[in-house]
Structure 1
């Protein structure tokens, strides 16, 4: 071992030890009985008749005491911090198989649930979700949403293809949108290679990824590409941020006004682009043949109202829509599948909606 490797090795050991301690603290706190969690979390938080989930309130309190908000860090450091937090909240989730691959020139990962391992040679293929991660177009990657993709695959009984599209500020609008549309075209063309049933394909994502899934679905309908379902988890649909929930939940509930400012400035530096339907599908002229959608929102989320407005827009256009608000939860609950009970149960409900949508 060279002397120059010792500091790096020591830093790695320290990081692993810190991660282990943080994970242990969070898991322990989330496993406490609800009355104990209430005492630790503080008085109930009630806004607009909704009471914040006590597990979530306690988690927010722990985060405030131990972590700097990612938007206060330089973007490269923020990316590391977000992935670190997602790993702790996601835990280790079972999966049948994973395979890293290239999709339209982008890194991607295929998840195969245990029930579908060995079925790739079936003539019809399996139901498959093409997944776009959230992170404000500036954060997130295949690893940040790995645990959630595993849960979706296993619980819904579908293959999942997660796509690592380009991020801002290195690649500004419409780079992420273009990447996701290109990735979906590639999946349609190579469905048999992936073991996917071209007649049972879905697009899905959370937050910015929900926006990208929605705009990819619009592009698919316009191009006549097969698409059976949209899974939109608290999607960003209006970058003008004109809805009441942006003001009501601007601080204190994980997704902050400062985070959203950074996302908009990084991905959409030209303000006129913020009304472009490829960034704000709430302003889109919806085409015929748009796939049925499941849209869910969180009660304590700045994006709540715009997500529900988009569900209403889809319904008015004749699209079959299921809308569900998880009223006690916050933005980012989709990544909390390794600790606690409430968020994990919500993600399982979302996976069941995906199963129904592709059945």
Structure 2
């Protein structure tokens, strides 16, 4: 399918600019560029209440619909940014919309970024954040039986690994996972890395340089670096995977669907057509972005119990 019109213009602009390489940018420039890109997110949703809290030295941000009941279904959200950028500000409008449209609480976890903090710092923070939200669920207004782990790109990776860590510990598990074009394979072994790796704004270099900076020499085959290849998915809650047609990560997301299904996990996957990696954050120029946010919001509120 052809690119959506708004995304096509975005891609043409990237190509016309000479396909600027992330590898040639400083970390500071990459982070600033990500914040600037929020101008593509569309009109800011205002029908929410937002609180930033520090719990046991971890910073979280809670997005709630206006006039919310005391207890709500909740999504613990891990932002994308290739493990080196992103945060509350880069995902603000999407998390506002999820809370509003889903009549749910969305709790964003601020995890440490590379190069200041390398593997497994982000993984450890993601797990700690989930456990703290579980521990303080009553105070946060969260229904412990209706918790979704959700994230995009690097955040999708962290949501999956966090769920696997929680399963191994056996204290609690989320009700479901929603993985938005997750980073799963640091070896970049799938064909979509070649097919979609150059022209579509978030390039092969963007993704792999993020891995390189965060991993700092860690084994690319480590089960928490490339969770794609793990054998211990059995026992996970239901998983929904979102992929994008023109994304270098498309194939690994769809391969994860196959692996999860083979290991007995209830799993659904949807490839969104005409869009690129990062489209979840392009609501100002993409109808699919606006649609996928409403779809995710619905899934958070209507958790599928197995």
Structure 1 residues 85-94 or 190-199, which shifts more? Answer: 85-94
Contact 1:86 1:144 in 2 (8 A): yes
The whole-number CA distance in structure 2 between the counterparts of 1:336 and 1:146 is 12
Root-mean-square deviation (CA, aligned residues, Å) is 1.9
Structure 1 residues 79-88 or 343-352, which shifts more? Answer: 343-352
2:256 is equivalent to residue 304 of structure 1: no
Deviation of 1:241 after TM superposition, in Å, equals 0.6
Higher helix share: 1
Residues 70 and 107 (structure 1), Cα distance of their counterparts in 2 relative to 1, 3 Å cut: farther
Greater Rg by CA: 1
Out of 213, 225, 236, which is 1:279 matched to? Answer: 225
Out of 121, 130, 144, which is 1:198 matched to? Answer: 144
The whole-number CA distance in structure 2 between the counterparts of 1:340 and 1:324 is 17
Deviation of 1:194 after TM superposition, in Å, equals 0.5
Out of 207, 223, 226, which is 1:260 matched to? Answer: 207
Out of 133, 148, 157, which is 2:103 matched to? Answer: 157
Out of 168, 183, 194, which is 1:236 matched to? Answer: 183
Contact 1:294 1:353 in 2 (8 A): no
Contact 2:41 2:281 in 1 (8 A): yes
The whole-number CA distance in structure 2 between the counterparts of 1:65 and 1:98 is 39
Deviation of 1:217 after TM superposition, in Å, equals 0.9
Contact 1:255 1:331 in 2 (8 A): yes
Runs of 5+ consecutive residues of structure 1 not aligned to the other structure: 1-49
Residues 309 and 344 (structure 1), Cα distance of their counterparts in 2 relative to 1, 3 Å cut: same
Q: Deviations over 1:196-230 (max 9, x none)?
A: 00111111100000000000111111122131010
Deviation of 1:152 after TM superposition, in Å, equals 1.2
Deviation of 1:103 after TM superposition, in Å, equals 4.0
Q: Deviations over 1:161-214 (max 9, x none)?
A: 001100011111111001000111111100001000011111110000000000
Partner of 2:49: 97
TM-score of the pair, normalised by structure 2:
0.93
Partner of 1:148: 94
The whole-number CA distance in structure 2 between the counterparts of 1:296 and 1:193 is 31
Deviation of 1:279 after TM superposition, in Å, equals 1.9
Contact 1:71 1:78 in 2 (8 A): no
Partner of 2:164: 218
Deviation of 1:341 after TM superposition, in Å, equals 2.4
Q: Which has the higher contact order (CA 8 A, sep 6+)?
A: 2
Deviation of 1:349 after TM superposition, in Å, equals 2.3
Partner of 2:4: 53
Contact 2:38 2:281 in 1 (8 A): yes
Partner of 2:30: 78
Contact 1:202 1:358 in 2 (8 A): no
Equivalent residues, number:
303
The whole-number CA distance in structure 1 between the counterparts of 2:89 and 2:174 is 26
Out of 215, 239, 247, which is 2:194 matched to? Answer: 247
The whole-number CA distance in structure 2 between the counterparts of 1:103 and 1:339 is 36
**2:302 is paired with a residue of what secondary structure?**
helix
The whole-number CA distance in structure 2 between the counterparts of 1:62 and 1:89 is 17
The whole-number CA distance in structure 1 between the counterparts of 2:58 and 2:33 is 23
